[in-house]
Amino acid sequence: MLFYTKKSLVSVAFIVSAICFSAFAVSARDAAPPVEGYEIKVQLSDFKNDTLLLGYYLADKQYIKDTSIRDKSTGFFTFKGAKTLPSGMYMLVLPPENQFLQLLISDKEQHFTLIAHDADITKGYKLQNAPENEQFFKYIDFIANQSKAANLLKAERTKDTTKAPAIKTKLENLDASVKKYQEEVIRNNPGTTLAMLLKATVEIEGPNFNIKNEDSLKLANYYYYKEHWFDNHDLKNPAMLRTPVLYGRLDYYITKLTPQHPDSVGESIVRVLEMMKPAKETFQYYFVHYLNEYSKNTIVGFDAVYVKLAKKYIPTGITDSFIDKEQREKIMKDATALEPVLIGKKGANLRMFRQDSSIVNLYDVKSKYTILYFWAPDCSHCKKSIPHLVDFYKKWKTKNVEIFCVCNQPIGTVKTCWEAVKERNMGEWINVADPYELSHYRSAYRVLTTPKIYVLDQDKTIISKDISSEQLDDLMTRIVEEDAKSAGGGKSK
């Protein structure tokens, strides 16, 4: 139900504020506005503050666009600028309580006047040259009245549960009336920001699949909703960026509907970016948003998403207008360096040296799992990490797990490696160094800081990385369990 269930509240979320909206019919003047610039005049007779703010939505945030001081002679606040405002949802913010009144701005509605008492427009208002906002306020008034009726019915149902079936029917009728009204507004206002917003609040209705198996039915519904999730969201419309409805839709699609695997997440983000391409600013905003989000690498392995986005879009030139050349080059350099050490890639072989100068190759380690550990004697974090590594090895050394421990020291200080190995009881596993850096291990494994850990399988393919030594025991337990399930056809041994 669109106006009384938790799910349906999403459909009117963009009109919820500290203010109760209402409206009555007034005649709109359809004079054509000037081609460029904006001028919005506001008179709020009961608002005592001399400062009024014009704000706007951008993805999941709100910003102040303009500030106006009341004209003492006319009582009007005037927001004026030489450049046309981008289409979307804006708000008049009333300090100091910061109540706000939402407005729609479109290419055709940049010059209009609003006269009201204060933020509570249920006291009455007049609009001039703002037919789309008048429709918007009428819609809000309708929704408010339907919500009030629904709340009264729910209260009645709580008092007398015997009326529940009859009240259920009445609520369904209210819901149907809301849907019908939405459809009428969308149909009668084609191409408007209002129609775009209302359509975005309409939930997707899937087909009735003729599938008896419950699990198969759930899967069919999942694939349908994932495929059609944006059917009612016009991602190519530039106005969508400046509304509060798109960001949540995108976030749910990426984090809930998409399996949380780097490949799947990357494909979903590319899908939405491709749909956004005609709306250049929307594409720019969300490309930068997702690139920054996955550059943080807060979830192991998701740096693959960063690499995918960088390599797919930056070389094409589509980012040239909003990312400068130096930054683009830096991003591509980072992505190129990250790509060989993504999870699923085969790690580079390392030809290293023991203390006695004998040679050891990483690929010659025959264990089923290899922990590749980079450290330095003077690294304080390494000093805290190594005792956990020692405990881990005591438990796992008989379970086909080896540690290939690379000391990150040049020729002049490499002797401190062997001193620290003895001092910290690190002698049981494979301890090596490459003081002349012949193996280029720093670049091969992106060793920018220490300690740094990679977990490799028997083929030296990277199966995890960038974790702490404290996490190794739990991680290896999960890896072994998953391998056992795979070997047993899905059942743990």
What six digits make up the tokens of 210? 């003729």
Could you tell me what percentage of the chain is helix, strand and coil, using 3-state DSSP and rounding each to the nearest 5? 45, 20, 35
What six digits make up the tokens of 284? 């720019």
Q: What is the pLDDT of residues 257-266, one digit of tens each?
A: 999 999 999 9
What six digits make up the tokens of 34? 């000037």
CA separation for the pair 488, 493 (Å, rounded): 7
175, 150, 182, 189: which is closest to 15 by C-alpha?
182
CA separation for the pair 459, 450 (Å, rounded): 24
What six digits make up the tokens of 381? 């974090």
Instruction: State residue 478 phi and psi, 5-degree precision.
Output: -65, -40
CA separation for the pair 232, 179 (Å, rounded): 14
Q: Find where tokens 């009612």 sit.
A: 232
What six digits make up the tokens of 345? 């890639």
Helix axes 325-338, 303-313, angle to 10 degrees: 130
**How would you write the pLDDT of the chain (493 residues) with one tens digit per residue?**
222 222 222 222 333 332 222 222 233 334 444 558 999 999 999 999 999 999 999 999 999 999 999 999 999 999 999 999 999 999 999 999 999 999 999 999 999 999 998 887 767 789 999 999 999 988 988 888 899 999 999 999 999 999 999 999 999 999 999 999 999 999 999 999 999 999 999 989 889 999 999 999 999 999 999 999 999 999 999 999 999 999 999 999 999 999 999 999 999 999 999 999 999 999 999 999 999 999 987 889 999 999 999 999 999 999 999 999 999 999 999 999 999 999 999 999 999 999 999 999 999 999 999 999 999 999 999 999 999 999 999 999 999 999 999 999 999 999 999 999 999 999 999 999 999 999 999 999 999 999 999 999 999 999 999 999 999 999 999 999 999 888 776 544 4
CA separation for the pair 299, 316 (Å, rounded): 28
- Kind and range of the H or E run holding 66: strand 61-69
138, 136, 135: which is closest to 146 by C-alpha?
138
What's the pLDDT at 11?
28
**Which DSSP state fits 85?**
P
CA separation for the pair 314, 42 (Å, rounded): 44
What's the pLDDT at 430?
98
Helix axes 303-313, 262-276, angle to 10 degrees: 40
What's the pLDDT at 489?
63
What six digits make up the tokens of 460? 């030296």
Residue type, 118: D
Give the strand pairing for 359-361 and 351-353.
antiparallel
**What pTM was computed for the model?**
0.86
CA separation for the pair 492, 180 (Å, rounded): 53
- Kind and range of the H or E run holding 403: strand 401-407
Strand partners, 127: 114
Sorted by sequence, the CB contacts under 8 Å of residue 367 that are 6+ apart come out as: 400, 401, 402, 458
Q: What is the pLDDT of residues 105-134, one digit of tens each?
A: 999 999 999 999 888 776 778 999 999 999
